[in-house]
Amino acid sequence: MKKTKMSSTPALLLTLLIVSLSITLASSAVLAAKLPRANPVPGGIAVVPLGVESMQPPSVYYGDKRVMVAPDTDKHNHWLAVTGINLGAKPGTHQLTVTTENDRLSVSFDVQDKKYETQHLTIKNKRKVNPYKKDLTRIKKEKTTITKALAHWSDSETINTDFVLPVTGRLSSPFGLRRVFNKQPRKPHSGIDIAAPLGTPIVSPSPGTVITTGEYFFNGNTVFIDHGQGLITMYCHMSKIDVKPGQAVKKGEQIGAIGKTGRVTGPHLHWGVSLNDVRVDPALFFDNLNQLVQKKPSQ
C-alpha cells in the first residue's frame, strides 16, 4: 500500500504540473498575439526589448504616457514595450522608463528619420477650412472629448493587435501626409482614408469596448474603440453609428457605415490608430495593407 501511494503521488503531481503548464502556455499564447510591425520612425512603432526578467509585466512609460507591454516569446519572463512614436518626434535616441517589482531603470531606443509627402485638397465648404468664430467654441469643446478618448487606458492581459481591415474600399490617403486645404497648410494626416460607397459597412478590426461616440465639426459622426493597454481606434465621417458607449464589440462586428459627414471631399472612412496617446500608421498592423485595399476608385 505504501508503494502504491508513493507511486501514485508523483503521477498525480506530474498530471497537475502538466495541466498547470498547459494553462500557463495557453495564457501566454493569448498574451503573445501577433504584434504590429516595428518601424521606429515618426508616426511608427518601436518594439523594444526591455532586458529585464520579471514574472509580472513591468510598468513602462514613454514621457508621461503609459506604454503597451507584451511578452517576449523568445525569452521566458522577459517583456517587450510596444511604443507609438509621435509624428513630431525628432530622430535620435529616446528613453523609456521601466519599473519592475524590484527596480526602476531607463531603456533607450533609436528613432530614424522619415519624410512624408504633401497632399493638396480642395474643400468646397470653406467653413470647414476657416471655421466661423462660433464654430471655434464648439471645436474647442469637442477637442477636449476627443483628446480624452485617445488618451484612454485600460489594463488588459490580452493584446488585441491582430487586425482585420475595418472597411472594404480604396486607400485614398495614406498616413502622415502633410496636408494643404485650399492652399492652407494644416496638421499631418494622422490616419488613413479608405474611400467606399455611402452605406458600406464599417467593422471593428479586433475585440474592444466603445469609449464614446459623437458628431464633430471636422470628424463628423465618429466612434472610438478601446482595445486595451492604450490601443485606441477612431472612425470618422460615418453616415450612421450602430454602437453605443460602453458596448463590447467583437472582431468583425459592424459599428456603422461609410458616410461623408464633417470635413470631406467625398464618402470615405478616416481610420486612426492611437498607441500610448500618439497616432501611428495603421498599415503597421497588417503584413501588406496594399493587398487588402482596392486598386481602382470605388464606384
SS (H, E, C) the chain: CHHHHHHHHHHHHHHHHHHHHHHHHHHHHHHCCCCCCCECCCCCEEEEEEEEECCCCCEEEECCEECEEEECCCCCCEEEEEEECCCCCCCEEEEEEEECCCCEEEEEEEECCCCCCEEEECCCCHHHCCCCHHHHHHHHHHHHHHHHHHCCCCCCCCCCCCCCCCCCCEEEECCCCEEEECCEECCCCCCEEEECCCCCEEECCCCEEEEEEEEECCCEEEEEEECCCCEEEEEEEEEEECCCCCCEECCCCEEEEEECCCCCCCCEEEEEEEECCEEECHHHHCCCHHHCCECCCCC
For the domain that residue 239 is a member of, what is the CATH number?
2.70.70.10
| Average pLDDT, rounded, for the chain | 85
Q: Is 23 contained in some domain?
A: no
Residue 24: φ, ψ to 5°: -65, -45
Structural domain tally of the chain?
Answer: 2
For the domain that residue 83 is a member of, what is the CATH number?
2.60.40.1590
Q: Is 146 contained in some domain?
A: yes
* 90 and 143, same domain (yes or no): no
- pLDDT per residue as tens digits for the range 254-269: 999 999 999 888 999 9
Q: What is the model's pTM? A: 0.83
* 100 and 160, same domain (yes or no): no
User: What is the model's pLDDT at position 127?
Assistant: 60
Nearest to 45 by CA among 274, 293, 289: 274
- pLDDT tens digits, the chain, 299 residues: what are they? 333 333 445 454 444 444 344 434 334 433 556 899 999 999 999 999 999 888 899 999 999 999 999 999 989 999 999 999 999 999 999 999 999 988 899 999 999 999 887 766 666 666 666 667 888 899 999 999 999 999 999 999 888 999 999 999 999 888 988 755 555 555 777 899 999 999 999 999 999 999 999 999 989 999 999 999 999 999 999 999 999 999 999 999 999 999 999 988 899 999 999 999 999 999 999 988 776 776 554 43
* 84 and 140, same domain (yes or no): no
Q: Cell 528613432 appears where?
A: 111
Cell of 58: 513591468
User: What is the model's pLDDT at position 31?
Assistant: 53
* 66 and 184, same domain (yes or no): no
Nearest to 228 by CA among 163, 282, 283, 157: 157
- Boundaries of domain holding 238: 118-291
* 49 and 137, same domain (yes or no): no
Handedness of CA 51, 54, 57, 59 (dihedral sign): negative
Residue 169: φ, ψ to 5°: 180, -165
Dihedral of the alpha carbons of 44, 86, 166, 208, in degrees to the nearest 10 = 110
* 180 and 276, same domain (yes or no): yes
The domain boundary, picked from 78, 93, 111, lies at 111
Cell of 60: 513602462
- pLDDT per residue as tens digits for the range 38-91: 999 999 999 999 998 888 999 999 999 999 999 999 899 999 999 999 999 999
* 61 and 207, same domain (yes or no): no
* 156 and 196, same domain (yes or no): yes
* 86 and 166, same domain (yes or no): no
The domain boundary, picked from 111, 128, 163, lies at 111
* 122 and 218, same domain (yes or no): yes
Residue 156: φ, ψ to 5°: -155, 130
Q: How far apart are the first and last CA of the chain?
A: 81
The domain boundary, picked from 111, 141, 162, lies at 111
Cell of 209: 469596448
* 59 and 154, same domain (yes or no): no
